[in-house]
Structure 1
């Protein structure tokens, strides 16, 4: 990879934003995705970004490890695994333009659905119908999350929307998200390596970028305590919409 000093500076800032997004505003790393895709060949950029994301996931788990909701993770993982497989098959034949348009449209659609649901009134208590609906929702978001995270490392906004729609508060949101993406991203490594997206050259670049994730994560941890729940939810939605528009228009 032919990386100039300015290219590396842009990638370093994007890596710092990954750290911030993992410990503060999940979904904000769609900006990092766009930067990596602009500096590097779009397809190869997903392989370079994945170890950077895993670095941020480790830091997020160390910060919020006690706040995860494991029953939610248990409901999501089977559907996510199916989505990862579908995403891998999709990558075999889809070009960058198809990938970007597909994911951008999905993110904008889900942001609209989540914003609409937030205006409604949640059921007073658990019912059989509500339980079935929750399972369907977890399956739908899980498949889309697995698909988007495999093809473009863009699963953050999808899962953020799911956790918001499920009523998670800040710390539970961040703890559940942290464990979810650490497990999913580590699980994606063999698929990405098999597609030739991760190799020795990409790992050398990752080794240089990983240290920049740390200050971003520390800044995010300091900021999240100062953000109230309503502002937190709004920022997550805004980050999702910005990421979706960027993918559609770039």
Structure 2
């Protein structure tokens, strides 16, 4: 077993539960796990370890919402997401952790401002291919550099007015595919360590617990509150990355 303090173990267990909850309920909540893992482990190692647990949550999420996925939406996002992931790999090699966090935070704050502005307008342009490409590229970029692709993707799907269950199914399958693409890059960059592999079976049950809690909670949220909570988690994530 890895030699970690009691506080570090507590942070990792809490983060793993949040990962599971995010995969079956409020996707933006995964940013809380990013922070918890970064407090418990070195920054780069925390990214690789968290990716393995996100994949565990992805398997649960794709199974739970296998009948409510918008496959056409996913097909449209393939190319821009791959462009974003490739840009993220290059960016990871060029900047330190602090610049990385603040860059992502500023991007998310900008997206949030656009989202809130469009919600105030009586009519919104939905289904824009250009917007889809831009959000897809940002999701690929931010998920590669900090496992933070949820907020851009969430904002895009909210902008499209997607129903709650379709939203959950589409994001589940989207991030399962994206995280699989990221995995070999993370291994090549040395972000997935031996300790990451040892921690995986230890923390996986906590992910499953969080997924069960999320599945229970999301069934009790109506569409309006679901959208509000997603937006709130995006806002908290952006502020955390930018200023802390």
d(CA) in 1 for partners of 2:157 and 2:123? 14
TM-aligned CA deviation for residue 2 of structure 1: 4.4
The match for 1:176 is 170
How many residues are treated as equivalent by the alignment? 243
After TM superposition, the structure 1 stretch with the greater mean CA deviation from structure 2, 5-14 or 153-162, is 5-14
Normalised by the length of structure 2, the TM-score is 0.96
Which of 131, 134, 138 aligns to 2:132? It is 138
The match for 1:9 is 10
The match for 2:60 is 59
d(CA) in 1 for partners of 2:200 and 2:93? 24
After TM superposition, the structure 1 stretch with the greater mean CA deviation from structure 2, 147-156 or 209-218, is 209-218
TM-aligned CA deviation for residue 107 of structure 1: 1.1
The match for 1:126 is none
RMSD (CA atoms): 1.3
Output aligned runs, 1:114-129, within 5 Å.
114-122=115-123
The match for 1:40 is 41
Normalised by the length of structure 1, the TM-score is 0.94
Which of 187, 191, 199 aligns to 1:193? It is 187
d(CA) in 2 for partners of 1:179 and 1:107? 22
* 2:242 paired with 1:242: no
Once the two structures are superposed, what CA deviation does each residue of 1:190-238 show, in whole Å capped at 9, x if it has no partner?
A: 0000000013221111221111001111111111111111111110011
The match for 2:69 is 68
* Uncovered stretches (5+) of structure 2, i.e. residues with no partner: none
d(CA) in 1 for partners of 2:123 and 2:169? 23
d(CA) in 2 for partners of 1:121 and 1:52? 41
After TM superposition, where is structure 1 displaced by more than 6 Å over at least 4 residues in a row?
none
d(CA) in 1 for partners of 2:195 and 2:32? 23
d(CA) in 1 for partners of 2:143 and 2:7? 27
d(CA) in 1 for partners of 2:228 and 2:185? 34
Which of 145, 152, 155 aligns to 1:151? It is 145
